[in-house]
């Protein structure tokens, strides 16, 4: 099967930086669009940033100019560079990936989620 493993979360002071990683592995033919979602305590999950297989990025207005999403040349690892962090960035960050599985129809995409990594920004 397919697994998404996240890393890089932690505690940081306001104005600091963190770099999140998400690695997709398993029976993968191709990893298509990927994205970082975040959910603060008691609030709705929201898209922070997404990236296509071709490297086209999209950002929520709240993080634009501060966060940078990227992926490696193979396309299976995604990163989120977070700079100038604010207390309102505090949330659990989840990795999402659209995957074409090995030995499966290339017209079918499966959605996988990571287990989340906590980012806490102190004031």
**Residue 102: its pLDDT value, please?**
94
Residue 47 has pLDDT above 90, yes or no: yes
Q: Is 31 a residue whose pLDDT tops 90?
A: yes
Task: Name which of 80, 105, 106 is nearest 91 in CA terms.
Answer: 80
Residue 76's CB is within 10 A of a number of other CB atoms, namely 19
Question: What are the pLDDT digits (tens) for 69-117?
Answer: 999 988 899 999 999 999 999 999 999 999 999 999 989 999 999 999 9
**End-to-end CA gap in the chain:** 41
Residue 117 CB: number of other CB atoms within 10 A?
A: 22
Alpha-carbon Rg for the chain, nearest whole angstrom, is 14
Helix, coil or strand: residue 89: helix
Question: Above pLDDT 70, what percent of the chain?
Answer: 100
| Alpha-carbon span 104 to 7, nearest angstrom | 29
């Amino acid at each position: 099967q397919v697994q998404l493993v996240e890393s890089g979360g932690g505690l940081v002071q306001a104005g600091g930086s963190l770099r999140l990683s998400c690695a997709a592995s398993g029976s993968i033919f191709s990893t298509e669009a990927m994205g970082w979602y975040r959910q603060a305590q008691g609030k709705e999950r929201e898209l922070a940033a997404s990236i296509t297989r071709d490297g086209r990025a999209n950002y929520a207005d709240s993080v634009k100019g501060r966060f940078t999403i990227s992926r490696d040349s193979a396309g299976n690892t995604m990163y989120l560079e977070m700079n100038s962090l604010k207390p309102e960035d505090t949330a659990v960050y989840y990795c999402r990936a659209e995957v074409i599985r090995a030995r499966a129809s290339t017209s079918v995409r499966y959605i996988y989620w990571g287990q989340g990594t906590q980012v806490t920004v102190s004031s």
